């Protein structure tokens, strides 16, 4: 009976059953998901460099991240670049432990990921991407979503100000209690992104992940979002999946991926000098 119930539980998991092929790797992922325990392990992590050593991962039988070893420096902006499908988003999902790596080590400072609870680890990361997860509800509830503790009015106002959302809030009936519709209806894309930025500011993470955060925005909107982003980036480790040359050139450090392998890593200047693949990529964008 217990087995039956467990299987029913597993069957409700999306995507993993979308394709019929069953490989050991896929089964391992399913059981890892079923058993996800967010509480066991150390309840805190130091603020430090993120180290990947020999990290390997695949969704199915194909290896998507192939023995990657790299150090992402604390408090700096690291740009991750590589062609479509080279594993940029996957690498980030391994770093914030959305997926468990199959091999290798992941550490923040001296803290090994396997010794730290998922809850504590994930509390250190916030993601701002092109697809912001704004849901039906008030602007207030959208901003406070996921906050560990009750949010004071003062903290909320500060996040709104730093995210460059004050005018948006003031222009809506009810202000922070304005009801956003399904899929963010009632807020433009750029406004939704600023809501996501305010949410991340409240979370106050050690690491900020930007995945095409300002893609598809017109110049004026991009400037409005950037203002909020710059506030959010201050004093944090930033990992940015960068698609334009300016972002890559302005980064402190670059990680170059090629078909799941680390092609090279270093400062933009070093990459320009010694990494032919980097030169080839940056000439194309």
Q: Which residues bind Mg ion (CB under 5 A)?
A: 88-89
Identify the three-state secondary structure at position 219.
helix
Least separation in angstroms between residue 79's CB and ligand ATP is 13
Residue 84 interacting entry, from ligand ATP, Mg ion, none, C-beta within 5 to 8 Å by type: ligand ATP
Stretch that binds ligand ATP, among 38-46, 77-85, 151-159, 176-184 (CB under 6 A): 77-85
277, interface contact from Mg ion, ligand ATP, none, CB < 5-8 Å by kind: none
Asked if 165 contacts 228 with a C-beta cutoff of 8 angstroms, the reply is yes
- Determine the Cα–Cα distance for residues 96 and 106; give it in Å rounded to an integer: 10
82 contributes a contact to ligand ATP by CB under 6 A: yes
Q: Is 205 in the site for ligand ATP (CB under 6 A)?
A: no
Instruction: Tell me if 164 contacts ligand ATP by CB under 6 A.
Output: no
Burial class (CB in 10 A: 0-12, 13-18, 19+), 270: middle
Toward ligand ATP, which CB reaches closer, 276 or 285? 285
- Which among Mg ion, ligand ATP, none contacts residue 82 (Cβ within 5 to 8 A by kind)? ligand ATP
The residue among 226 and 243 lying less far from Mg ion, judged by its C-beta, is: 243
**Residues contacting 1, CB < 8 A, separation 6+:** none
- Residue number, 59 or 245, with CB nearest to ligand ATP: 59
Work out how close the CB of 138 gets to ligand ATP at its nearest, in angstroms, rounded to a whole number.
32
Q: For ligand ATP, which is the closer residue by CB, 12 or 84? A: 84
- Cα(173)–Cα(167) distance, integer angstroms: 12
H or E element: which one contains 108? Answer: strand 103-108
- Of 85 and 269, which CB lies nearer to ligand ATP in the complex structure? 85
Question: Should residue 87 be labelled a site residue for ligand ATP when binding is judged by CB under 6 A?
Answer: yes
Does 284 sit near ligand ATP (CB under 6 A)?
A: no
Cα gap 106→69, rounded to integer Å: 9
- The residues that bridge with 55 in the sheet, in sequence order, are 68
Residues 6+ apart with CB under 8 A from 227: 164
The C-alpha atoms of residue 281 and residue 265 are separated, in whole angstroms, by: 14
- As a residue count, the chain comes to 285
Residue 214 sits in the site that holds ligand ATP (CB under 6 A): no
Q: Which is nearer to ligand ATP, 187 or 281 (CB)?
A: 281
Query: CB of residue 260 vs ligand ATP: minimum separation in angstroms?
Result: 7
* Contact predicate 135/158, CB 8 Å: no
């Amino acid at each position: 009976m217990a087995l039956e119930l467990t299987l029913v539980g597993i069957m409700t998991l999306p995507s993993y059953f979308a394709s019929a092929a069953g490989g050991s790797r896929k089964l391992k992922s399913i059981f890892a998901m079923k058993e996800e325990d967010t509480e066991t392990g150390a309840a805190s992590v130091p603020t430090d460099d993120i180290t990947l050593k020999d990290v390997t991962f695949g969704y199915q039988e194909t290896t998507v991240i192939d023995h990657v070893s790299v150090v992402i420096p604390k408090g700096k902006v690291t740009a991750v670049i590589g062609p479509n499908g080279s594993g940029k988003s996957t690498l980030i999902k391994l770093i914030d432990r959305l997926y468990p790596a199959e091999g290798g080590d992941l550490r923040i400072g001296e803290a090994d990921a396997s010794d730290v609870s998922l809850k504590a680890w994930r509390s250190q990361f916030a993601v701002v991407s092109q697809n912001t997860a704004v849901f039906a509800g008030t602007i207030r509830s959208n901003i406070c979503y996921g906050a560990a503790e009750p949010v004071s009015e003062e903290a909320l106002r500060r996040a709104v100000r730093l995210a460059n959302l004050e005018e948006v809030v003031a222009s809506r009936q009810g202000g922070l209690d304005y009801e956003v519709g399904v899929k963010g209806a009632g807020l433009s894309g750029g406004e939704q992104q600023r809501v996501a930025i305010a949410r991340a500011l409240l979370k106050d993470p050690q690491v900020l992940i930007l995945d095409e955060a300002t893609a598809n925005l017109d110049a004026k909107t991009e400037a409005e979002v950037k203002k909020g982003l710059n506030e959010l980036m201050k004093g944090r480790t930033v990992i940015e999946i960068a698609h334009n040359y300016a972002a890559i050139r302005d980064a402190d450090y670059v990680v170059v991926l090629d078909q799941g392998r680390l092609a090279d890593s270093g400062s933009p200047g070093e990459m320009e000098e010694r990494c032919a693949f980097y030169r080839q990529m940056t000439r194309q964008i």
